[in-house]
């Protein structure tokens, strides 16, 4: 009786082993078929255990790099599954399409308010577009642009809208010129007599200067986007004759040009056009262009054009006509940030041209053609593609120059990173300089007034609201005596925002009034009373000039 339990245990173990073996066999995948759909056909493939890739291999289906498979090639399939192959194909096509033109609205105070005129008809351009087309089983599924080549630039439609405002007329002594929406304007006798001198809308604002008597205006027209074209070209127009046609002078690629005090010469400096920012490389030259005169009047002769053959190509050259050209300073690349260029200003007696570079201020003796450095300071590093240079303004007697000098900030700040800019005065005969306003801001733009009744004149300057970020700060206008004493704020009234940098101002010939730009409009300021009157309302005014 004692052996029976042992026999029962052994029988149970054998039964468990037999059951496990049966279950293992039962769980093995059985053979079956998988359907492969490809190239418009359905194919049955017998499988036991395989991946999609193996099934496709058995079916003789070869995949290209753009084909798609569902499920993915690495997944296992079971009998009864379906594998779908979608054939992918791409092609590239070129299509010419119209390039729409933009519509530009220009406000013009020469027209009554609300009146509209079509100044330039818009024309669409042409563009060649390359598309990538993707086909899935022969059906276009995706179209993507991969390249665009402009064949013809569109011509924008320009609509001029009248903007004559209800501003009361203000008497004007002499002549006032300014830039508005790419055109030069002039006003005489009264502010309501303003009229445009140009209609092209392409003045670049590098040069805009009235002759000392206010009879002539020089300006530069931009050369456009063609890298082979000049940076700009210099033109002249008579301001006293209604409907006078501007004349090209044949001088190109100018960064600066200004009438001499005698009204018979121009000083100018040039550059080379560059494909990299900022779009030019200054030559740092200084030249004179002298007009022919007859009975005290400038004789204007248009530039001459001549065809020249260069490298097998015929090109048209523009040559100055009626101008005598003289070199004061040859081209130079010396000095800090010389690629940007310098600022210049004639002395009242015409004997000197002051210059301002990023790290120094000096004068050029016109007769001797010799530059003399007056002061030096550390250049200011903008860490950008623009460079700061000081403004320049002569005292009425020609003995002093008022300017802005970059000054060190103290320990812990590199000299070129200092945010400190002082208004200083330089004595020409002694070469000494003295500070007038500490930390006024880089765009202080101090300007000496004409002498009042034989006096010494006063100085107007901008004071930055935030001198530590004076490159983008707003500025208030202040007036002070020539020695820096008695400063008082002129503009704006208390509680109003200051002027955008850099402030744009112009003294009247008698030194009692001042033009300024605020919000793109021209305002006249009475210096002694503080009365301010708005002259224009089109929002596009800049670069005021007052002579005569």
At 1 the pLDDT is 42
- Give CA–CA dist 382/266, Å, rounded: 31
Q: Look over the chain and give the mean of its residue pLDDT values, rounded to a whole number.
A: 88
Q: What is the 3-state secondary structure (H, E, C) of 422-443?
A: EEEEEECCCCCEEEEECCCCCC
User: Can 91-152 and 338-503 be said to share one CATH topology?
Assistant: no
pLDDT of residue 419: 96
The pLDDT value given to residue 430: 73
- Which pLDDT value is given to residue 309? 64
pLDDT in tens, 383-430: 999 999 999 999 999 999 999 999 999 888 999 999 999 999 999 987
Q: Is the pLDDT of residue 251 over 50?
A: yes
How far apart CA 546 and CA 505 sit, in angstroms, is 10
Question: Which residues, in sequence order, are bridge partners of residue 481?
Answer: 458
What homologous superfamily is domain 338-503 in, according to CATH?
Answer: TolB, C-terminal domain (2.120.10.30)
**What are 507-548's pLDDT values in tens digits?**
999 999 999 999 999 999 999 999 999 999 888 999 999 998
86-99 core/surface letters (b: 16 or more CB in 10 A; e: else):
bbbeeeeeeeeeeb
Q: For the segment 275-320, what is each residue's pLDDT rounded down to a tens digit?
A: 888 999 999 999 999 998 887 788 888 888 766 666 666 666 677 8
Model confidence at 14, pLDDT cuts 50, 70, 90, reads very low
pLDDT at residue 7 tops 60: no
Helix H or strand E segment including 33: strand 32-38
Q: Point out the least confidently predicted range of 16-25, 332-341, 538-547.
A: 16-25
What is the pLDDT at residue 109?
Answer: 67
- What is residue 31's predicted lDDT score, i.e. its pLDDT? 58
- Secondary structure E strands in 366-416: 370-376, 392-394, 400-407
Encoded tokens for 147: 């390249």
Residue 48, CB half-sphere, CA atoms under 13 Å: how many? 4
Q: Which two tokens stand for residue 60?
A: 């003789």
pLDDT at 12: 41
Q: Band the pLDDT of 35: cuts 50, 70, 90.
A: very high
User: Counting beta carbons within 10 angstroms of the beta carbon of residue 489, is it exposed (0 to 12), middle (13 to 18) or buried (19 or more)?
Assistant: middle
Average pLDDT of span 45-57: 88
Query: If you compute the radius of gyration of the chain from its CA atoms, what whole number of angstroms results?
Result: 39
User: By three-state DSSP, how is residue 354 classified?
Assistant: strand
**Paired strand residues for 344:** 355
Q: Which DSSP letter does residue 242 get? A: T
* Predicted pLDDT at 11: 40
pLDDT band for position 348 (50/70/90)?
very high
Is 80 exceeded by the pLDDT of residue 27? no
**pLDDT greater at residue 295 or residue 497:** 497
What is the pLDDT, as a whole number, of residue 432?
81
Residue 455 is predicted with a pLDDT of: 67
Can you tell me the mean pLDDT for 90-95? 94
Q: What is the pLDDT of residue 135?
A: 95
The mean pLDDT value for 219-234 works out to 92
Q: Average pLDDT in the 146-167 region?
A: 81
Tokens of 97: 């399409």
| In contact, 350 and 385? CB cutoff 8 Å | no
pLDDT score, position 342: 97
- Residue 417's Cα: distance from chain center in Å? 24
Look at residue 218 and tell me whether its pLDDT is greater than 70. Answer: yes
| Model pLDDT for residues 446-492, shown as the tens digit of each residue | 999 998 655 678 999 999 999 999 999 999 999 999 999 999 999 99
What is the sign, positive or negative, of the torsion defined by CA atoms of 467, 470, 475, 479? positive
Asked if pLDDT for residue 19 goes beyond 80, the answer is: no
Determine the average pLDDT of the residues in 96-104.
87
pLDDT of residue 277: 87
CA distance 53 to 63: 10
Greatest Cα pair distance in the chain: 155
Better-scored residue on pLDDT, 193 or 253: 253
Q: Where are the domains of the chain?
A: 43-86, 91-152, 197-333, 338-503
pLDDT tier, 18 (very low <50, low <70, confident <90, very high otherwise):
very low
As its CATH architecture, domain 91-152 has Single Sheet (2.20)
- Residue found by looking up tokens 């208004």 in the block: 423
Angle at 103 between CA 101 and CA 105, to 5 degrees: 160
């Amino acid at each position: 009786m004692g052996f029976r339990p042992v026999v029962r245990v052994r029988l149970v173990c054998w039964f468990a082993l037999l059951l496990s073996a049966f279950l293992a066999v039962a769980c093995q995948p059985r053979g079956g078929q998988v359907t492969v759909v490809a190239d418009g056909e359905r194919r049955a493939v017998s499988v036991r255990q395989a991946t999609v890739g193996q099934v496709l291999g058995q079916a003789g289906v070869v995949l290209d790099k753009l084909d798609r498979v569902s499920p993915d090639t690495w997944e296992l399939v079971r009998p009864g599954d379906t594998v779908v192959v979608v054939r992918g194909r791409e092609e590239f096509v070129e299509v010419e399409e119209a390039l729409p033109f933009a519509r530009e609205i220009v406000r013009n105070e020469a027209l009554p308010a609300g009146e509209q005129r079509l100044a330039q008809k818009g024309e669409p351009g042409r563009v060649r577009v390359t598309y990538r087309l993707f086909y899935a089983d022969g059906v276009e599924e995706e179209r993507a642009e991969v390249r665009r080549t402009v064949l013809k630039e569109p011509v924008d439609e320009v609509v001029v809208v009248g903007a004559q405002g209800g501003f009361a007329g203000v008497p004007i002594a002499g002549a006032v010129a300014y830039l508005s929406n790419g055109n030069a304007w002039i006003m005489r006798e009264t502010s309501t007599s303003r009229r445009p001198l140009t209609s092209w809308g392409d003045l670049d604002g590098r040069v805009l200067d009235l002759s000392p008597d206010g009879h002539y205006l020089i300006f530069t027209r931009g050369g456009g986007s063609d890298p082979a074209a000049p940076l700009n070209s210099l033109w002249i127009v008579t301001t006293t004759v209604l409907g006078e046609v501007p004349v090209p002078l044949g001088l190109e690629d100018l960064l600066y040009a200004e009438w001499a005090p005698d009204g018979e010469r121009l000083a100018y400096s040039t550059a080379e056009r560059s494909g990299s920012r900022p779009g030019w490389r200054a030559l740092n030259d200084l030249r004179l262009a002298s007009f022919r005169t007859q009975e005290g009047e400038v004789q204007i002769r248009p530039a001459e054009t001549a065809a020249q053959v260069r490298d097998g190509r015929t090109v048209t050259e523009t040559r100055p006509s009626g101008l005598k050209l003289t070199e004061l300073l040859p081209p130079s690349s010396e000095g800090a940030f010389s690629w940007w260029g310098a600022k210049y200003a004639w002395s009242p007696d015409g004997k000197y041209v002051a210059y301002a570079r990023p790290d120094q201020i000096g004068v050029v003796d016109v007769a001797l053609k010799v530059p003399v450095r007056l002061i030096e300071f550390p250049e200011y590093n903008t860490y950008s593609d623009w460079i700061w240079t000081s403004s320049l303004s002569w005292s009425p007697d020609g003995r002093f120059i008022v300017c802005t000098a970059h000054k060190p900030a103290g320990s812990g700040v590199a000299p070129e990173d200092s945010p400190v800019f002082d208004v200083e005065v330089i004595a020409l005969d002694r070469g000494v300089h003295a500070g007038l306003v500490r930390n006024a801001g880089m765009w202080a733009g101090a300007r000496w007034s004409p002498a009042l009744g034989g006096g010494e004149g006063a100085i107007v300057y901008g004071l930055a609201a935030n001198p530590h970020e004076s490159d983008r700060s707003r500025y208030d206008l202040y007036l002070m005596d020539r020695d820096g004493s008695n400063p008082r704020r002129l503009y704006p009234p208390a509680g109003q925002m200051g002027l955008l940098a850099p402030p744009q101002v112009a003294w009247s010939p008698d030194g009692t009034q001042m033009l300024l730009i605020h919000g793109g409009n021209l305002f006249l300021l009475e210096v002694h009373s503080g009365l301010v009157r708005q002259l224009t309302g089109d929002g596009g005014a800049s670069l005021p000039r007052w002579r005569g």
